[in-house]
Chains A and B, each alone.
Chain A
């Protein structure tokens, strides 16, 4: 059974978990969006390339 009642320490435990979720979530989102942005840019530039 999970113990989710942090009692008198709730004000320290939950903000720690929340901050970890936010920072790791930001790292995931930033990494994926950055990769998507540059992949799309390469695809667009390859399409716009003048014929050789």
Chain B
């Protein structure tokens, strides 16, 4: 599958249809998830703030998933020197930064009524902030280095260094005593919440994942066209 998608022409042909399909799936899942989310009863402890879970948790999942994609693409770009891998890494970074920003913002807005504070320097919140800074550093590095090959290599090394933070984000709530709760969906023994909350949460998680999948492909397509435009500009000038 990787070999098939690594061909830019084949990727452009497939993504032309696949990206809108994922986008349509994302809209359908989001509508169903929001409907079920607002139809669910308020939680006996958290009241109506429980509905923030349906946007906060998917954003937090995607902040990590997008970084895993960024690091994976960086690895392929660095080892196999494949230009589409560099384009994929470059395309994933702004999307991941957007989801991480949302995870931090909605988490803060949820924290105030539940914990009594907007922010606390506990291991989970701090490691997610570090993840956000890695995204910003990657984007800044790509913008700062003019030579695209050098920018891709430097960015890939930075992305792989930052990947060390992913298990820290995931397991921070288990390794240290944090104000943030431990995992309640992806945990041994199954999800720790009733189906009335789990169903909209999973639907919204799928909607966010499909949104990322669709937009990632659109941005890779833009990157392929940008490089094609640069080649054509040189050819026309010569």
A1–B211 Cα distance when bound, in Å, is: 27
Total chain A interface residues with beta-carbon distance under 8 A: 37
Please state if B221 and A35 are interface contacts (CB–CB under 8 Å). yes
Q: Does B158 contact A (CB under 8 A)?
A: no
Q: Are A3 and B39 in contact (CB under 8 A)?
A: yes
Q: Which residues of A contact B110 (CB under 8 A)?
A: 12, 16
B contact residues, total (Cβ < 8 Å): 40
CB distance B221 to A16 under 8 Å? no
Are A42 and B225 in contact, with the CB atoms below 8 A?
A: yes
Chain A contact residues, majority secondary structure: helix
CA distance A4 to B216 in the complex (A): 33
Partner of B55, one of A16, A35, A45: A16
- Are A9 and B55 in touch, CB under 8 angstroms? no
Q: Which residues from chain A contact B95 at a C-beta distance below 8 Å?
A: 27, 31
List 20 extra interface pairs beyond A26-B98, A28-B211, CB under 8 A.
Answer: A1-B39, A2-B39, A3-B39, A8-B47, A13-B49, A13-B52, A15-B109, A16-B52, A16-B56, A16-B110, A19-B106, A20-B59, A27-B98, A30-B94, A32-B218, A34-B218, A34-B219, A35-B219, A38-B222, A39-B225
